[in-house]
Amino acid sequence: MFCYQCEQTTRTPAGIGCTSAPGTCGKDEATAGLQDILTHLIKGIAQYARRARAMGIVDRHTDDFIFYGLFTTLTNVNFTATRFVHLIQEATKRRERIKLLYEEAAREQGKTPEILSGPAAFQPADGLEQLLRQAPGVAINAGAEHLGSDVIGARALILYGMKGVAAYAQHARVLGYQSDEVDAQAEEILDYLASNPTDIDAMLEESLEVGRLNLKVMELLDAANTGSFGAQEITSVRISPIKGKAILVSGHDLHDLKQILEQTKDQGINVYTHGEMLPANAYPTLKAYPHLAGNLGGAWQDQQREFADFPGPIVMTSNCIIEPGKSYKNRIFTLGPVGWPGVRHIDNGDFTLVIQAAKALPGFATDAEDQRITIGFGHHTLLGVADKIVDAVKSGDIRHFFLVGGCDGVSPARNYFTEVADNAPADSVVMTLGCGKYRFNKHEFGDIGGIPRLLDIGQCNDAHSAIRVASALAEAFNCGVNDLPLSIMLSWFEQKATAIHLSLLALGIKGIKLGPTLPAYLTPTLVQKLQSRFDLDLDLIGEAQADLQAALTHTA
């Protein structure tokens, strides 16, 4: 196996990437190989879908599968090898179907259909062992020995960015929000990847195209979330348990949470959010459910302890799942793209089993002391008080803004983000998003003239909100975003962060500090090219105090 898509991939003097099973994430060799084959087939689907679209044939189910399929291959989403065997079969059928539609349309229009090669012509083997033998030939590092790590790394940058895009697009689609423009562009980029590109400069340009696509997708998802559940409101969220039966919902999918809330209505069960689901508590439609009782626990990497301690069933709606402990394996359920061998999967929207489990399990015996945090500072909230913020900057009450967030993880180097947030001066504001916030979101930050110094913007995809806010501030000050007293410290772990990072780079935002490491696939050559040819900053985090000082000096 070979995988280096996430931050915790193996890095040793002997080489980079998880090359032996299990990978650091727990992925076994078969799952890794089957994911590679599925990804390859999805590129083949895109090859035909793009050409069909050019003939006027738009098949949204095909694009549904492209996004869903890619989402299953994200880090910490699906570890069930048997599921991938079936997804590979489905991908092959879908590719053949869109191929047929394309060829029929071409002939109807008096054109000779193109005969495509690469993923479009790839034939997955029937048997599992044969499939696994095919996997190295379609893995991201296929041909590395003669192509070199720079070409492979640039392809990886595009592919992993597209995986992030797919995850966000899938979340929007389940809420009924889809865009033909997005679908077409996704097909184009995957078709480009299917051509096995080798021109590094062209690939880096294409990676920025992924970033631009991701901006559209995050905007679509923002519209989906606010259109379905209202705009986030400033909300005091309870973060301690209440006596009674309980369900914990983790992951990112607000649509799944809504269904669970609806089905548990009046059943005497409290529903708590976990991890990236925290911002759900700020959406009016969701918080209107009186049994949405608050948020428990923190970021994904602590789930084995937190889930073991939770006295009810747990529902994992999207990434990030890690190996369930024996003590809770029977009471954790997966939805949508998520899977773990031996964990019960619900794919029909019926949460009866979860409700039965909640009623049978003990729940919380007592009320804990009421503890709360304040969330809900999406762009609607912040732009609503933009004049107040602008005044505070003009008066000197706010000297600097820090955007500190992204994905969390286990690396001790991530303490950097805590240090930055905690040591940001009293006349600065810390905006945060993603699960990286859990490192400091229970700390006391106070306020500046009524404006809280810690502003929780939402999930990682709410990076879109941060960009909206930054753009609005730049407009108010009649300057560019790079001229604002704003520093971005982005923690990354998986491919959604890659997509967000590419979006920020595509916008030309400079001075982003990325950590705890740079992605393994970004070779020194690629970093140097991004910096020189595209005039982008690609900085690794340094010492927290030094970076803070440098940021504030820049402001002055």
Which among 355, 347, 348, 350 is positioned nearest to 331, based on CA atoms?
A: 355
The whole-angstrom separation of Cα 64 and Cα 50 is 14
Minimum Å distance from CB 514 to another protein? 34
Count Cβ neighbours within 10 Å for each residue of 218-255 and write b for 16 or more, e otherwise: bbbbbebbbebbbbbbbbebbbebbebbbbbbbbbbbb
C-beta of 153 vs 339, nearer to another protein? 339
Instruction: Specify whether the backbone of 74 is left (phi greater than 0), alpha (psi in -120 to 50) or beta.
Output: beta
Minimum Å distance from CB 357 to another protein? 5
Minimum Å distance from CB 325 to another protein? 8
Minimum Å distance from CB 81 to another protein? 5
C-beta of 146 vs 326, nearer to another protein? 326
Task: List, as own/partner pairs, every contact residues 338-344 make where C-beta atoms lie below 8 angstroms and the sequence separation is at least 24, other chains included.
Answer: 338/77, 338/78, 338/251, 339/72, 339/77, 339/78, 339/79, 339/80, 339/83, 340/78, 340/79, 340/80, 341/79, 341/80, 341/81, 341/82
DSSP per-residue letters across 463-483: HHHHHHHHHHHHHHTTS-GGG
Minimum Å distance from CB 400 to another protein? 47
C-beta of 363 vs 406, nearer to another protein? 363
User: Which stretch of DSSP H or E encloses residue 87?
Assistant: helix 81-108
Minimum Å distance from CB 126 to another protein? 10
Q: Is the peptide bond before 341 cis (omega within 30 degrees of 0)?
A: no
Task: Look up residue 176 and give its two tokens.
Answer: 């009924």
Contact positions vs another protein (CB under 8 A): 28, 30-31, 79-82, 85-86, 127-129, 311, 325-326, 330-331, 341-342, 344-345, 353, 356-357, 359-363, 365
The amino acid at residue 79 is: F
Minimum Å distance from CB 324 to another protein? 10
Minimum Å distance from CB 53 to another protein? 33
C-beta of 338 vs 548, nearer to another protein? 338
C-beta of 213 vs 357, nearer to another protein? 357
Minimum Å distance from CB 27 to another protein? 10
C-beta of 284 vs 341, nearer to another protein? 341
Q: Going edge to edge, which strands form the sheet with 332-335?
A: 292-295, 269-273, 245-250, 314-316, 332-335, 344-346
C-beta of 324 vs 516, nearer to another protein? 324
C-beta of 65 vs 333, nearer to another protein? 333
C-beta of 121 vs 360, nearer to another protein? 360
Contacting residues for 145 by C-beta, under 8 A, at least 6 apart? none
Task: Look up residue 358 and give its two tokens.
Answer: 């909640």
Q: What Å distances lie between residue 161 and 56, 349, 447, 517, 521, CA to CA?
A: 27, 29, 36, 17, 12
Nearest 10 degrees: Cα torsion 35, 40, 41, 47: 150
Minimum Å distance from CB 314 to another protein? 13
DSSP 96: H
C-beta of 85 vs 184, nearer to another protein? 85
Could you give the 3-state DSSP secondary structure of residue 526?
A: helix
C-beta of 144 vs 346, nearer to another protein? 346
Minimum Å distance from CB 34 to another protein? 9
Q: Is residue 307 a contact partner of residue 324, using CB atoms and an 8 Å limit?
A: yes
Minimum Å distance from CB 311 to another protein? 8
Helix intervals (H) in 230-283: 254-263
C-beta of 129 vs 369, nearer to another protein? 129
The whole-angstrom separation of Cα 163 and Cα 166 is 5
